[in-house]
Amino acid sequence: MFKPFHYVEPKTLEEAIQVLSELGTKAKVLAGGTDLLVMMKRKVIYPEYIVCIKNIRELNYIKFDEESGFKIGALSTHSEIADSSIIRSKFDLLATACKKVGTPQIRNMGTIGGNICQAGPSQDTIPSLLALNAKLKLVGSGGERVIPIDRFFIAPFETVLEGKELLTEIQIPTPPLQSGGCYKWITKKSMVDETLVGVAVYIVADSFAEICGEIRIGLSSVAPTPFRARKAEEYLRGKKIDLLLLEQVAKVVSEETKPRSLADYRRKMTGVLLKRAVEESWEKIHRTVR
């Protein structure tokens, strides 16, 4: 059984901010609970207060319009995102990533906000969000701010969230025409197939769908935090994708990684997965053009 804690359940976002600003670092936020409760069971943390935001409905939504793009409430569960037809049609890499998380049970409980804020090196949703250039809306008693997701992570399990702030929304711009992406991964041998290397790619092609215009590459589990492989992106930007180029960029991306364990294998597989992800993203672009 857990050690006792004080339990608070704010009913609205405003109440939650109020409570968190009073409690600060004494409190841990409970959403789906699939990371928090596991850490408590493993005796990694002993929160004094648990602030449960799970039932705040105003934070659970998936909205899209062509002008402002996607706005996903932080309490949207992995299942809701994986099953969302609008996300699958516009950004299936994010749906794929959410479908990969844990087990069906965990996906029904765990939230995308929780996955991001857990900020582990191998979180599944983050590479896709990096590749999609997502922004995060953080709300605190001092107001709100929107930051690009690649500025969110400081160190393993550490983010820029000041104890009194809450992640409320994930914003993703509307996909341009002639664009496509995908998420590729390999797993550790564990009960829930934790990601060993995760590579997400998003490409915006030129108008003839021949040159790689904009490209973004999100990597997980090959460095202390998930990150954008900017050297590899630079290498591919503005170029025509061919096999030789892919072989070369595989080496470039491998050198950008800083894996801890199984380093040689992870470096090599980052290159392999990047090649596959670029090829598949490119195929998707061509399919929509035809």
Partner 1 sequence: MEKEKDDRVIGLVVNGRLYEIRIEPRMTLLEVLRDRLELTGTKSSCGVGSCGACTVLIDGKPVSACLTLAITVEGKNILTIEGLVKGTSLNPIQKAFIEHGAIQCGFCTPGMVMSAKALLDRNPRPTVSEIKEALEGNLCRCTGYIKIIDAVLAAAEEMKTAGDR
Query: Exactly one of 86, 192, 263, 289 binds partner 1 (CB under 8 A); which one?
Result: 192
**Could you say which of 56, 98, 106, 170 contacts partner 1 (CB under 8 A)?**
106
**Please, are residues 62 and 81 in contact by the beta-carbon 8 Å criterion?**
yes
State which amino acid sits at residue 228. Answer: R
Query: Does the footprint of partner 1 cover residue 140 (CB under 8 A)?
Result: no
Out of 21, 33, 187, 214, the only residue in the binding site for partner 1 (CB under 8 A) is 33
Of 76, 79, 159, 270, which lies in the binding site for partner 1, with binding defined by CB under 8 A?
Answer: 79
From 33, 51, 50, select the one nearest 41 (Cα to Cα).
33
Which of 82, 63, 83 has the alpha carbon at shortest distance from 172? 63
Q: Does 268 bind partner 1 (CB under 8 A)?
A: no
| CA separation for the pair 6, 9 (Å, rounded) | 10
- The residue within the footprint of partner 1, chosen from 20, 34, 92, 172 (CB under 8 A), is 34
Q: Does the protein bind partner 1 through residue 189 (CB under 8 A)?
A: no
Residue from 13, 37, 62, 160 in contact with partner 1 (CB under 8 A) = 37
Q: Does 109 bind partner 1 (CB under 8 A)?
A: yes
Dmax (CA) of the chain? 62
* Residue range at the interface with partner 1 (CB under 8 A); choices 100-108, 133-141, 179-187, 254-262: 100-108
The least distance separating partner 1 from the CB of residue 260, rounded to whole angstroms, comes to: 23
1 near partner 1, judged by CB under 8 A: yes
- Residue by residue, DSSP assigns 168-179 as EEEEEPPPPSSE
Place of tokens 């705040």: 56
The tokens describing 122, both together, are: 């191998």
Query: Which of left, alpha, beta for 209 (phi over 0: left; psi -120 to 50: alpha)?
Result: left
Phi-psi region of 69 (alpha: psi -120 to 50; beta: other; left: phi over 0): left
Residues near partner 1 (CB under 8 A): 1-10, 15, 18-19, 30, 33-34, 37-38, 41-42, 50, 52, 54-55, 79, 102-106, 108-109, 191-192
